[in-house]
Amino acid sequence: MALKDLYDFSFIQNEAERLILEEMERQIPEEDLFDNEDFIFDVATLALNNTPPAYRSTLLGKLYSSTLSDSEYMEKVQKAVSSAIKKVRNNP
């Protein structure tokens, strides 16, 4: 029997996704957030590909992952988003 049949893997979350999206909201001007799906998805995927994953699966993991925003990890997120924005804007 396959693991997917035995366990619900939807509990596994990559906290980097949440942090990347929050940082994108801070760095991208509000007028660029609307009707710009390709730009937004390209920035998100490029930033995620350049940020170490931060997976969690339990409540304890959620508590631990909340400390990511207070650490050097957040610096990596900010740089990844900034770099992705520049790269995607220069290569539409």
Kindly give the confidence (pLDDT) of every residue in the chain, 92 residues in length, as a single tens digit, with 9 standing for 90 and above: 899 889 888 888 888 999 999 999 999 998 888 888 999 999 999 999 999 988 887 766 666 656 666 678 899 999 999 999 999 999 87
* Residues 15, 18, 24, 25, Cα dihedral to 10°: -150
Q: How many CB atoms lie within 10 A of CB 39?
A: 16
pLDDT at 71: 78
pLDDT at 63: 60
Per-residue confidence (pLDDT) for residue 69, from 0 to 100: 66
Task: Please state the φ and ψ torsions of residue 54, each to the nearest 5 degrees.
Answer: -135, 75
Q: Report the pLDDT value the prediction gives residue 60, as an integer from 0 to 100.
A: 63
E strands within 1-92?
13-14, 55-56
Rounded to an integer, what distance in angstroms lies between the CA atom of residue 28 and that of residue 49?
Answer: 18
